A and B are shown apart, each in its own frame.
Chain A
């Protein structure tokens, strides 16, 4: 079986500072991986590098996606090939209706894959179905992208896009930040509904709490730019008790 995502000995700099020093991670289709670690351990950097955000310099190692060199691809190309990043802080785009944004983005991806554009009635039907399951009112889809959305609405909008674009690899960057317990449950249910044998997820979080709702197959602990420990879901519980301090020396 080809791994969906292989990160090998990845070294990344931002400006003059090295953030990741030799990170290795393998994610297979169907698996849900949790990446935990304190602030500044490099979790978000990893997600940004995988999605292709500018400003990061890869100085060593490689990232393969379905066996292909991911770092060679433009960010929009990665998206078309099924890499999806659910943002910790989704941006607001005033004046661009959410519905229009979703339609434009979906068609851009389809076009890049050489598929036909989706017909508007089919698109509308699909959006309505997904929106309903996520408890997203139609009114929200008419508003500007994320403009005036509450924290919970922004996160649900991310999951809505995930459901719509049907990516193979989903990276969820601190999905739980800024959510109360009810909002967290709705969002987590949305994510769980998307778990499938062909799709992998990488869930980045500080807290074990989220993992009560999205139960991972593998848990990794990151510290100072490396994965310092990996294990089953029980590792998360252990961390909750003992904290991250124990790993400071290991890194």
Chain B
């Protein structure tokens, strides 16, 4: 049997068994009545003890959403979503935790199973890290609520605020009011508007001027409850000269029905500040027949508001049945810089439509896009990107490289770049390649002694190397493993 044929067959066999995070946690939860109405919005707001302005903000978004239409331009196909068929709020019973000890042991166990220790002592005593002292603070979001945030005290000493956004709305209303919806306005798009109306939790980070956040911050999102939509909202602000690196991980149980995930992430950098945002997205992709899986409609945008500021997105997308996601940068400040590094893998019946927008507004702004799409099975993988230079964005620079790799002959890779320069000093470069893991390439490797599995892993890792290098080390190792699992099943 030809080597590529073997790979294709192996990839085809991959189904739910390969998804390691598909287990369900059995806990009692407190849910909003099914469906979406003004009452649902009020219910969520009341659950969170929100101030009146927040409720108004949500209701306005909800009313606007009713007048909007679901976008259809993406290269993804799915049955019409019945928005009345979801639960918009689900929280593990037992709320208002004073400390980690009060977290439901079932939930702690869930995160342990996922390899995310929530107890600080365990984290400290955990694996020996090459950097010795390096630690990661974690915010764990379970369905609609944050269940634990670690290292809060230590971060507070550094002046860094890292807490669930629901708490931030109560404790730091001025900061939230000042920034929420300023990067992704409530009117932005169908899914962002829906999120604005019903978002339940997510992380809030504020790094004060001149502070370099002393540890990596991370949030692990977990959708557990059946028929539940998760609408997380994350807001990260790096004030003048501040720096923060933030990691996001996502998993969900295996379910036959499609779960909905519509998140909004907003980043703001002031003068000389930098935010590095990394995602390893591993939502349940559905089974081998394309049944189930997460619908992932996400709006992520960063605003380089200050001069010399920088926002860098790195994403490894391996999960979800449908991915609709374009982490973008608005390069408003002069000399600001935006980066987008992406590995998007689709297998089975997955559909990915992902990319970025780099909007150059300030002078001497630069951006870089490195996108690696890998399609296997009968999946469809689309890169969609926009690079624009405003009239006043003199000397704007962009470099884009979009590479696609096909495994087998039933999948598709598509590249849809939009480029717009409104001044003559802008310099935009775009490179794109599509290649197949060819029989010749695999034969060359096996003739040198590698097994077919080793050969595929070697070729794929070579293909994504530029992006993997951008991830924090712990994540890079995890991502490399994930890539092998997503594509091969048997490659270790």
Judge if B76 is at the interface, Cβ distance under 8 Å: no
Contacts of A91 in B (CB 8 A): 438, 440-441, 444
User: Which of B447, B463, B466 has the most C-beta atoms of chain A within 10 angstroms of its own C-beta?
Assistant: B447
Judge if A114 is at the interface, Cβ distance under 8 Å: no
Known contacts A54-B1, A104-B458; is A165 also within 8 Å of B441 by CB? no
Do A108 and B1 have beta carbons less than 8 Å apart?
no
Per-residue interface assignment for chain B, residues 277 to 321, with 1 indicating a CB less than 8 Å from any chain A CB and 0 otherwise: 000000000000000000000000000000000000000000000
Judge if A75 is at the interface, Cβ distance under 8 Å: yes
- Which of B112-120, B131-139, B152-160, B448-456 participates in binding chain A? B448-456
Judge if A76 is at the interface, Cβ distance under 8 Å: yes
Judge if B126 is at the interface, Cβ distance under 8 Å: no
Do A93 and B462 have beta carbons less than 8 Å apart?
yes
Judge if A211 is at the interface, Cβ distance under 8 Å: no
Q: How far is the CB of A22 from chain B (nearest CB, A)?
A: 25
Per-residue interface assignment for chain B, residues 459 to 492, with 1 indicating a CB less than 8 Å from any chain A CB and 0 otherwise: 1011111100000000000000000000000000
Contacts of A101 in B (CB 8 A): 448, 458
Contacts of B441 in A (CB 8 A): 91, 93
Do B444 and A75 have beta carbons less than 8 Å apart?
no
Do B449 and A79 have beta carbons less than 8 Å apart?
yes
Contacts of B466 in A (CB 8 A): 95
Judge if B443 is at the interface, Cβ distance under 8 Å: yes
> Which of A79, A94, A95 contacts B448 (CB under 8 A)?
A79
Contacts of B130 in A (CB 8 A): none
Judge if B446 is at the interface, Cβ distance under 8 Å: yes
Do B446 and A75 have beta carbons less than 8 Å apart?
yes
Bound CA span A51–B445, Å: 12
Q: How far is the CB of A182 from chain B (nearest CB, A)?
A: 26
Contacts of B445 in A (CB 8 A): 93, 105
> Which of A84, A108, A144 contacts B462 (CB under 8 A)?
A144
Output the nearest chain B residue to A161 by Cβ-Cβ distance. Answer: B448
Do B2 and A55 have beta carbons less than 8 Å apart?
yes
Bound CA span A93–B438, Å: 11
> Which of B3, B450, B459 contacts A108 (CB under 8 A)?
B450
> Which of A75, A95, A96, A112 contacts B447 (CB under 8 A)?
A75
Do A95 and B449 have beta carbons less than 8 Å apart?
no
Contacts of B446 in A (CB 8 A): 52, 74-76, 79
Judge if B39 is at the interface, Cβ distance under 8 Å: no
> Other CB < 8 Å A-B pairs besides A85-B447, A96-B461, A112-B449, 18 of them?
A51-B447, A52-B446, A52-B447, A53-B443, A54-B1, A54-B443, A55-B2, A75-B443, A76-B452, A79-B447, A80-B449, A87-B444, A93-B441, A93-B459, A95-B462, A95-B464, A96-B458, A101-B448
